[in-house]
Structure 1
Amino acid sequence: MLQELNIRNYALIERVKIVFSEGLNILTGETGAGKSIIIGALGLVLGERSSPDVIRTGADSASVRATIDISKSPSVNDLLSETNLKDEDSDILILSREISKNGRNKYVVNDQSSTLQTIRQIGDNLVDIHGQHEHQTLFRPEKHIEILDDFGGLKDLVQQNIDIYNDLKKLLAKRDFLIKDRDEKLRQKELFEFQLNELKSAKLEDGEEEKLLRERQLLNNAELIFELSNRIYKLLYDSDDPNIPSAIDLLKSMRSDFAKLCQIDSQVNELSSRFESSIYELEDIANQVLNYRDKIDFDPLRITEVETRLDLLYKLKRKYGVDSVAGLIEYKNDVAKKLEDISLSSTKIDDIESEIKRKTELASKIASELSKKRQENAKKLKVLIEKELKTLGMEKTIFEVKVTQNSAQLKIGEDNSIDIDYNDNKIKLSPNGIDSVEFLISPNPGEDLRPLTKIASGGEISRIMLAIKTVLAIGTS
């Protein structure tokens, strides 16, 4: 029971303390008196969303503190014990929340720092805030299944259904993607095979184009290369004119002069050694130039072969939109991988199909259990709602909770459902399971049961909502 509510700098309130007594407490006042502000403050301390906008103008923060007797709330006591927030010496729970201009919130439970999640869990077990237009949610049939599940305590089972539904959605999407991808590749398989054979038969080698271009350069200039290298060799080592000595002959003729210099001045010894080394170096260069010259190939057939190969590489590069042989090799490997993927995709699809079958069987089992419990709870809810309606001046009203399983032909709203096999039939599985739930009433004797959304008046719908709230507070007991 809520005993006391302290509000500071919230909306228009600077400071107020409200003390509640046992039983029914009523806040009255004309429009704008602040009734909704007090309810808003209560919602704030119970974990409802808020922002710094609620802080009173001129203040740095707003705070709300609620003092609650939880002696008759075992679920709250259990929750507090689990979170080590229970005051073992008292049945009084003190909740407080402070919100600052910077948007930061401070949550305190029994003088201990806490979290928004914990505050909300406590609030859900303590208070139900019913807004002035909330009864209108009963005009939405999708709300009815939530009420029935809440009444039956089916939260965990519903979550299991949501999880298996999400798993199936992901698997089905993955399967459909793989099938589409495989079919697209199958349409291109013949092209891929042709491309792979063409590129394989070309026997591509990384770097060969550069080698061929160099070889073509040499072949096209073979005559000039021979002439230049031959001239260099002759001038260095083997002159054709006996009257013009080669460079090496001239150097060798200087040896005796260096020998005489060394006899006169020993400091020339180092220069003489370097001189001898230069002769040996030039002789080596001359020999290598000779070998280079003798390797020059004048084969016109080889020129044709090189040109033909380069032309093939150029055509392949242009055809496959790459600028190098390395690009062609990469393209070839990519095509080979696509062909491999085509052969593997069927295996992947089969594996996913097996997983879908397993998940569908599990989903069917969970949904069946959920549906069975809903059918059972629908009967209990009917009895309890009708009992409460009798106390609200609707003694003759018949209330029915209609639970129907969704056939595959049924259209459900935006319909994100999945068709699954269930008891040898196709049925729709949604995040809510395989059921649709709708509340029906017959306000007067002799009237047929009709959907709540089509027959109930504003006054009736408000009383039905009050009856539902009362029953949900009591529970299935």
Structure 2
Amino acid sequence: MLQSLSIRDVVLIEKLDLEFGEGLSVLTGETGAGKSILLDALGLALGARADGNLIRQGAEKSQVIATFKVSSLDQISGILSENEIPFEDGNLLLKRILGRDGRSKSFVNDVPVSLSFLRDVGGRLLEIHGQFDRLLDANAHLEALDRFSAAENDLSQVSDSFFHYQKAKKALDEAISNLQNSQVREAYLKVSIEDLRALSPKIDEESTLLEKRKQVAHQSKIANATEEALSSLLGDQITTRLGQAHKSLARIEEYISDRVNPILSQLDEALNLVQSAAFDVQDLHTQVLDDHQSLQEIDERLYALRQMARKHQVEADNLSVLFQEMEAEFGRLSQGEAGLEDLEKASNQAKSHYYKLAMRLSEKRKVAAENLAIQLKSELEPLKLGHVQFEVQFETLPEERWGRGGIDTISFVVATNPGSAPGPLAKIASGGELSRLMLALKVVLSDKMAIPTMIFDEIDTGTGGAVADAMGKRLKSLSKGVQILAITHSPQVATSGDHHIHVFKIIEEGAPRTDVIVLEPQDRIEEVARMLSGANITEEARAQALRLLGR
């Protein structure tokens, strides 16, 4: 609840410190006394837009401090802790300082905050309703109906279910997108694999071909050289001389075996090496003569390999490895649709679960809407609005607009004349009707209120007698669960208050100044009498004021 309001240098208010109590507080005063200034000042503390015109003449800045006592921490503690704002004993202080240049500074519990944050916090603590307020616009209707139907648990389940549905749907959509991309990749791989299979590259084939190219290019030189080498190695001269040397030394082996045997071994090894080299040269000579691949064929093969390598941006020697990798990837991609079926099944199950919960919530809302209309009807009768037909119109959202709040969009509509079509509150109801409709609706929703303090700004304008008396009673009833501040010109509403605050204007040193006092019982009689009879207060007016206050 709002505990106090401290104002410095706002329009006609130089210095004002005002405390508020629980229940219903009424604010009265003559037209032009400055009641609206109090609302403007409070609006500053709650984050309303403002400019330098609000600063009192002669002052350099305005300052407003609104102090609240918060009984339920749920509505406010979360955003305070997120922004590291200290919060102890349920006390919350909102402060705004406005400079002559229109710039302002905002504070919550003396911690500097942004204006939007101040507005967010203030909106959770207090609502201000005027005669032409758009409180009942379509954006607020669904929330109000859910409060009335006590559907918080159902709404939470729908919200959680929608989150899981969106998560499953996102996974499916991504898989479909990936599959579509993979199908393009799969088609590319298929063509590439066919090309590589036709080419049939071998491991390190380019390097092998380059060596072979040298061989083919010098085939005649290699053949002549190997032929000459064979002639030298296989001729009688070298082997005969080695054999003769071996035979000569063998004759003296028995005399100096320890010296001759190593030499004989070397000659044996030399003869074997010559024979082995001759065999190798013979193989090389035969290979050169038997290789019929031409230089043109090798060049054509090299060109084909290098062209394919450029296409895939790899080394020609790695084409064989690329071929194997592409075949493996193609095999994996061809199995992609199997996992898609599981994701599609999960998405459909999540969607079905969400829709089931959303339909249950929708049915609960429709039942609540009927009860709301019935209860509102009973409240409208004493307010002379028994002829007004109120209903809640439902529209089922298309699938693409489903959300955490379910599948419904609703609007409160009224028909103020018999036989007329129902329409939006703000367009169909007149100013006075809208005020009374709003009050009746708040009374019906009073035990579901999330806002602890509400201000009604002259909602009794244009009413009197029994209607004003009924409005006073309903404000009184509403104040049992919510702190209510009502700015009023109605004696019936004024006498319904638990506390009576009088706003008046005085002239000091030729300058007007707004001041405020909390009326004692006797002063309250005088103020109500003034409201009944005007400037000239009669004894009859005092007697009537006493009767109204004595109710």
> What TM-score bracket applies, with the shorter chain setting the length?
0.5 to 0.7
Q: Distance in 1 between matches of 2:15 and 2:145?
A: 39
Deviation string 1:234-285 (CA, Å, 9 cap, x unpaired) is: xxxxxxxxxxxxxxxxxxxxxxxxxxxxxxxxxxxxxxxxxxxxxxxxxxxx
Distance verdict in 2 for CA 1:55–1:37, change over 3 Å: closer
AA of the residue aligned to 1:128: E
**Structure-2 residue corresponding to 1:4:** 4
Matches within 5 A, 1:28-427: 29=32, 37-44=40-47, 64-68=64-68, 70=69, 74-75=71-72, 85-87=87-89, 93-97=91-95, 106-108=107-109, 123=122, 126-130=125-129, 134-135=133-134, 138=137, 140=138, 143-155=140-152, 157-179=154-176, 182=179, 192-200=189-197, 202-204=199-201, 207-217=204-214, 219-221=216-218, 298=288, 300-304=291-295, 306-317=298-309, 320-322=311-313, 324-325=315-316, 326=318, 329-330=321-322, 333-334=325-326, 336-344=328-336, 346-403=337-394, 406=396, 416-417=400-401
Deviation string 1:58-85 (CA, Å, 9 cap, x unpaired) is: x9998643234x5xx7535997799894
Identify which range, 391-400 or 199-208, moves more after superposition: 199-208
Distance verdict in 2 for CA 1:224–1:153, change over 3 Å: farther
Contact 2:64 2:97 in 1 (8 A): no
**By how many angstroms is 1:352 displaced?**
1.0
Q: Distance in 2 between matches of 1:416 and 1:215?
A: 68
Contact 1:164 1:359 in 2 (8 A): yes
Q: Distance in 2 between matches of 1:396 and 1:223?
A: 119
Secondary structure of residue in 2 paired with 1:128: strand
**Structure-1 residue corresponding to 2:422:** 450
Distance verdict in 2 for CA 1:403–1:170, change over 3 Å: same
Runs (5+) with no aligned partner, structure 1: 234-287, 418-428
Q: Distance in 2 between matches of 1:122 and 1:136?
A: 18
**By how many angstroms is 1:313 displaced?**
1.0
Distance verdict in 2 for CA 1:443–1:337, change over 3 Å: same
AA of the residue aligned to 1:317: A
**By how many angstroms is 1:229 displaced?**
12
AA of the residue aligned to 1:475: K
Secondary structure of residue in 2 paired with 1:437: strand
Deviation string 1:85-138 (CA, Å, 9 cap, x unpaired) is: 453xxxx834234689999965328xx999999988975664223477641762
Deviation string 1:189-232 (CA, Å, 9 cap, x unpaired) is: 566434324424644456442443344245425667899999xx
Distance verdict in 2 for CA 1:15–1:396, change over 3 Å: same
Secondary structure of residue in 1 paired with 2:385: coil
**By how many angstroms is 1:403 displaced?**
4.0
Contact 1:165 1:430 in 2 (8 A): yes
**Structure-1 residue corresponding to 2:538:** none
Query: How many corresponding residue pairs?
Result: 383
Q: Distance in 2 between matches of 1:17 and 1:228?
A: 120
Deviation string 1:318-366 (CA, Å, 9 cap, x unpaired) is: 5x4535334784476356425522322x222111122113212321332
Secondary structure of residue in 2 paired with 1:25: strand
Distance verdict in 2 for CA 1:352–1:54, change over 3 Å: farther
AA of the residue aligned to 2:109: V
Deviation string 1:420-457 (CA, Å, 9 cap, x unpaired) is: xxxxxxxxx4443133323232324x436623369713
Runs (5+) with no aligned partner, structure 2: 230-276, 450-480, 482-551
Alignment pair present for 1:24 and 2:26 = yes
Distance verdict in 2 for CA 1:363–1:448, change over 3 Å: same
Identify which range, 194-203 or 351-360, moves more after superposition: 194-203
Contact 2:6 2:16 in 1 (8 A): yes
Q: Distance in 2 between matches of 1:26 and 1:327?
A: 93
Distance verdict in 2 for CA 1:453–1:208, change over 3 Å: farther
Deviation string 1:27-81 (CA, Å, 9 cap, x unpaired) is: 975999856641432313xxx8x89999989x9998643234x5xx753599779
Contact 2:155 2:405 in 1 (8 A): yes
Secondary structure of residue in 1 paired with 2:41: helix
Q: Distance in 2 between matches of 1:54 and 1:201?
A: 86
Secondary structure of residue in 1 paired with 2:362: helix
Contact 1:107 1:113 in 2 (8 A): yes
Deviation string 1:285-315 (CA, Å, 9 cap, x unpaired) is: xxx9xx99x9697455345564353233134
**Structure-2 residue corresponding to 1:255:** none
AA of the residue aligned to 2:303: D
**By how many angstroms is 1:182 displaced?**
3.6
Q: Distance in 1 between matches of 2:323 and 2:50?
A: 57
Larger radius of gyration: 2
Question: Per chain length, whose mean CA-contact separation is higher, i.e. which structure has more relative contact order (CA < 8 Å, sep 6+)?
Answer: 2
Contact 2:66 2:93 in 1 (8 A): yes
Q: Distance in 1 between matches of 2:60 and 2:204?
A: 73
**RMSD, aligned α-carbons:** 5.5
Distance verdict in 2 for CA 1:151–1:195, change over 3 Å: same
